[in-house]
Structures are given as C-alpha cells and as structure tokens.
Amino acid sequence: MSIIQTIRDKAAVLVFGIIAVSLIGFLVQDAFVGGSRNPFQSEVKNVGEVNGLDITKQEFDERIRNTEAQYQSQGYRLDEPMRQQIQEQIWEALVNKELVATEAKKLGLDFTSKEFTNLLFSEKAPQEFKQQFTDPKTGVYNIEAARTAFKTIQKTKNTEELRQINMQLIDPIILSQLQVKLMNIYMNGTYLPKWLVEKQSSESGQVSDISFAGLSYATIADSTVKISDAAINEYIQAHKKEFKQEKSRSISYVLFNAAPNHADSTNLWNKIESLKSSFAAAPDAGIFVTRNGTKSPFLDGYINKSRIQVPAKDSILTLPQGQVYGPYYDGNAIALARVINSKVLPDSVRARHILIATLNPQTGQPIMEDSTAKNRIDSIQQAIAAGTATFETMVIQYSDDQGSKESFGDLGYFPGGQMVKEFNDFCFEGKKGDKGVVKTQYGYHYIEVLDQKNFEQAYKIAYLSKNIEASKETDDAASAAATQFASASRTAKAFDETVLKEKLNKRMAETVRELDYQIPGLGSSRAFVKWVFNNKVGTVSEPMSVGDQYVVALITGEKADGVQSAATARLMVEPILRNKEKAKQLVQKFGKFTSIDEAAKNAGQEVQSVDSVRFSDNFKPAFGNEPILIGAAFNKDYQNKVSPALAGNSGVYAMVVRNTSASPAEAAPVEDQRKAAVMQMKQMMSYSWMQALKEAAKIEDQRLKAGY
C-alpha cells in the first residue's frame, strides 16, 4: 500500500511494481487457482473441505488478516459483527474457488499464462491494474508503459511479495475468468424450441367459461382428523429436499439489564457541565479535551460548514470565538463544543506531490535518514524552480508514493481533513498555485496546489464528548441478579421453576447454528454461541456478559444435520396431510353424479359460474388460488361433461367447461418471444449456477472445531 494512500486512509490499490513482480511470478510458476497442495502440510489444521479438497486454516487466517487490514485502511470499525461478516465472506470465497476449480478441471477448462498476459495488456484489463498506467491527462491506458515497467523488475526474488500478490490479485483474476468460461458454457446450452413458444402463446390466448360446485376443507373440524408421526415421516422421506435442516441447537434464556440508567446519565451530565467553565477558559482547547478524555479526538484543523454533522450544529456555529455550547446529547454520549476559530476555505483541493519517504507506513520502520530526505527534496524543489527538470520527471524518478506515480503525482480532488494535518493545511490554507516543501510523519513532500473550489466558512471546533456508560453500581446490580438466578437454576426444571417464581421473562431461540454470531433479541456474541455448542443439552450457563446485558441460558435441545424430524416438520406437514384426509371425506360426500347440478345437490351447494378463465390466472375471486380448477378449465374431457371430484388447495370441487374460445391478443413475433424467454432463462442461470454447484458438492464446514 502506498504512503499517500495511508495518509488518505483509503483502500489499498496495488502499486504497479508489486503487480509486475506478481505477474512474473505467475508466468514463471504457472500458478493457477486450485493448484496442487503440499503433501508435507499434513499438520496444518483445516477449516473445511469441498469435495475432498482442504481449506486450510493458514490460508483462511491470512485472507482474513488481509481483508481486515483493507477495511481498516478505509476507516471501518472492526467490531465483532464486522469480523464475523468478513469471515463469512472469506469462507464463501474459498468454497467458490474450490467449486470453480473442480468444475473447470472436469470440463478441461484453463486460464493460461498467455491469456492472463493478453488480458492485462489490453483494454479489458482489471480497472485496479489499468489505473496504475493510465495517463491522467488523456485518460488512456498506456499498455506500452505497463509492458516496460514489467521488464525492469524481472530479477526480483521477493517470494513473500509474490505469494501475497498471487493471492490478492492473480488468483481472483483467474477465478473470475474461469467463472466467465463456465457460465458461458452453461448459458450457451440454453435452448427453447420455437414450437413450445407457439404452444405457450396459443394457450395464453385461450379463454374458458366454467361452472363448479365446491366443498371447503373448513367444513370438517381439524380436531376430528389425527395425523401420526409415521405419516409425517413418510411425507418427509418423499420430499427430503424440502425438509433439509442444518445442525442447530435451541436455548431458553433470561436477560438482566446492565445498560446505563437515568442516574448514570444524570451523573455524566453533571460531570460534563462541571467542566464547561474550565473548558472555556483553557488556553489550549485541544490539550484540554485530550487530557480529560474525549470520545471524539481533537482535530487540529478546519471543517467546512457543509461537512459538519453534529446534533447541535446550528447553535454551535453561532457561538462567538472561544465560547462553549452544551452539555448536549450526541447519540449515546454527552458533549461540550468550543469554537476555536473560523475562516473561509475551499471544500476541496486538487494537488500533486513528490514524496521522499523516511518511514514505511506498513511496518513503521525508518527507511531513510531525515537529513538525507530533506537534502533530496530540497534539490528536487530547486531543480524544478530553475527549470532544469520538470515536475513529471522528478515524480517518475524519485517519488516514493507509488500509488500516484503513474498520474505524475496528481492526487485529484480531496476534501478537507482527509490528509494528515501538515499536508492538509498547506493545501487548504494556501492558495491555488502555491508550491513548497512540507514535512509529515511519512517524510518530505514537495507539493503544488493545482486547484481549489467551493469556498465557504470553515470551523475549527474542539469537542469534549463522553459516552454514557453504566456505573459500577448499575453493572454490579445486574451481575448480582444474574448470579443469583443462575445459582438457583442448575437444572432445566429448576430453571423454569425459578423463572416462574421470580416472574422473569423467559426468551427462546429455537434455531442457533454453529457459526452464528448473534441471536435475535440478545445481540452479537460469538463467545456465547460457542458456549451453546461446547456444552451438553440441559446445561445451564453461568452469567455471561453480552453487550449491556447479562444472560443466563439453558440448552434445551439440538437438531442433527440432515432432514427434519416429525416433531419439527409437523407444523408444516400436518395441514397438508390433514387436507388430504379431509379430501377423501368430501369426495365421499359428493358421491356419484353425472351432472354439475347433481354434484351440487349431493354436496348441498349451489352451482357457481365463472367466465373468462385464462391459463395464466393465479387467482379468481370466485374460488381463490386453485390451480386445479384453472388447469381443468382447459381439459377437453370436461367440455360439457362434469369432472370427477377434484381435490384442491382449499377444498374439493366438481366442474364443467361450458365454453372455450380464443381471445385475440397482441403479442410480439414468435422469434422475439423466444429470444426474450431465452434471455430470461440465461439471467436466472447466471444467478443460480453457483448455488447448483454447492448443492451438488460435498461441503464440510469445520470452522467451529478450528476455533472460529
């Protein structure tokens, strides 16, 4: 990651030199996704398997570290939910990698080093690669410049760098290209015959008029129809795909609130208010807020009015210089604000720079003596000023910011506060055309301000802000209540009895999975979920802190990976089987009949008529959602001849088709309809083909055993 990108706190973009090194490593080693594994790595623990191929803990951990570093470089706060999401993303990516590699191997597909080279040195190259060699003045990708850069670094022997870039750049490119090849094969196999489109078009134009009589399942009480577990199990076995279940556990739990209460909020308010006069009188507001501890670190710089986002913004910005506003609530915090100064500044600046680095931003290690760096930047400044060298040539020859090198040091437009203070102040508090040397924590910069725009009032404000937190007394009271409950509830029976006795609110989570990191109503706690799976059913926990609550939980049951049991599936299956049994009784009630009138009489119902029934209808007000009646309306056997009793979704029906006709409807030419249908099928396939591979694969997720 380049130094200026560290300054800007943005996502890392791989510098051209490292990318070039990695490509050479790829060309030499012919490194492909899903390649062979080292047979001597038997001691490495795995986090899972895909079709017998190991996903190693080492690779999993490394990818997590790299991804977390990228999120942090973009300013994301890596809390527990974010870390769990990253882990899930990495797991899915590694599973997909193995699935694609395996499927490509079966079909004899490859993405060769020649294809890789042709891709990079073309207009189809990945954007993050192209931008390193794009002329900022023309916006044109300079392919020859990329080729030339590669030739200069062919002798590299940095194997660790090669390995990292193979993993972060090369493997993803190869994977994506293999996915494209696979998807093209699947999608190009999509076919829809013309005759089928013509048939569907003809059917959609048919209209039927019917008469029917029906008996609702509701006419038979549910309590009179008993469904056995054996019947439910038989149904499950016949529909296994619909009743798959993951391994999971169920729990009951009780929460004890340890969140800050009114007294805690009042105490903090009074404490903040007591600092107000001292804050206003402090010679240095920045030192004052830092010394007193603040949730919002002091920014020794100006923020434009339009970019200030605080609850009391209007009141704060009307304060005279040096005055303090507050206390006021800012989310879960209480704050004071002191206006230090204000001035008119641009809201964004475009600048270019040359960096002579003294520090490696990734390791924090010095890489050049300060005096040497200062002499070099002074010489660069003098050469440019004298006209013996251009800014562009000095950037290419000397700048250590590889991220901006190919744009000749041009950083584009950036808002105030994005750069480190010294760099930011030079660009925003100077004027367009200013040139000069600035020292930052990363080294010496020779900067030229190219443009400034959108001038408005900007403010330097110091905020003294503290989160409202539970006092020790509040936390101790919740902890004591949880401990007392846990000690009285060491068995499942005692747990329930104590809940009733103490009139507590018992909550339940019926489906807790091995790799969940949060439970609805409880919040995020991977440690708590691990406890659920590392203990036996019937175990009662000690009080565990989750967020601002203490929880005491009882493990009430577990479900194995596979198909659902009769007890689990009963809620879904019982109504289906019950209606089947009711249908048998209602068919008997219809008895024998030779006309729709006779059928209605036997059932004690009136004959109803419905006109203009179409095959595409999903719902008709007369009978609701009954596909069996829609289909029967176009059955030639029932034209002017009553049907047998038909069991539907809501009841049993007898019906007769009184008339059928064709309804002229404007439609696109058959070939256009066929092409549109094929395109729709391809779009559906583009979303579903990877899921199909997963369903057909044997995937073993062992992350819990590996400690995640």
pLDDT bucket at 59, cuts 50 / 70 / 90: confident
Write the Ramachandran bin of 372: left for phi over 0, alpha for psi from -120 to 50, otherwise beta: alpha
d(CA 349, CA 522): 46
Domain co-membership, 372 together with 228: no
Are residues 55 and 101 both part of a single domain?
yes
Q: What is the pLDDT of residue 122?
A: 85
Range of the structural domain that residue 485 is part of: 248-258+471-560
Would you say residue 695 lies in a domain? no
pLDDT reported for residue 42: 42
Tell whether 227 and 270 lie within a shared domain.
no
Q: What pLDDT, on a 0 to 100 scale, did the predictor assign at position 363? A: 63
Q: Are the CB atoms for 431 and 341 separated by under 8 Å?
A: no
pLDDT of residue 9: 37
Question: Where does a domain end: 540, 560, 580?
Answer: 560
Q: What's the distance, Cα to Cα, between the start and end of the chain in Å?
A: 28
* pLDDT tens per residue across span 310-362: 999 999 999 999 999 999 999 999 999 999 999 999 999 999 999 998 887 66
Sheet holding 248-257, edge to edge: 507-513, 248-257, 549-559, 544-546
Distance CA 463, CA 297 (A): 8
- Please confirm whether the linkage preceding 327 is cis (ω < 30° from 0): yes
Q: Is the pLDDT score of 636 beyond 80? A: yes
Is 615 domain-assigned?
Answer: yes
Whether residue 407 lies inside any domain: the answer is yes
Read off φ and ψ for residue 321, nearest 5 degrees: -55, 130
Q: Do 176 and 74 fall within a single domain?
A: yes
Is residue 164 located within the same domain as residue 216? no
Residue 196 is assigned to a structural domain of this protein: no
Query: Could you tell me if 441 and 547 lie in one domain?
Result: no
Q: Which amino acid is at 395?
A: V
- Domain boundary (644, 662, 680) is at 662
Domain check: are 351 and 459 in the same one? yes
Residue 691 belongs to some domain of the structure: no
Judge whether 383 lies within some domain: yes
Q: Where a domain ends, among 434, 467, 500?
A: 467
- Tell me the pLDDT tens digit for each residue of 161-199: 666 667 777 778 888 888 888 888 888 888 889 898 888
Same domain? For 293 and 440 the reply is yes
CATH number at residue 533: 3.10.50
Could you tell me if residue 676 is inside a domain? Answer: no
Q: Which of 33-42, 84-93, 199-208, 692-701 has the lowest mean pLDDT?
A: 33-42
Distance (Å, rounded) from C-alpha 105 to C-alpha 331? 54
Q: What pLDDT was estimated at residue 21? A: 35
Tell me, what amino acid is at 487? S
Number of domains in the chain: 4
Q: Are residues 328 and 463 in the same domain?
A: yes
pTM, entire model = 0.64
> From residue 90, how far is each of 84, 98, 170, 195 by CA, in Å?
10, 12, 16, 46
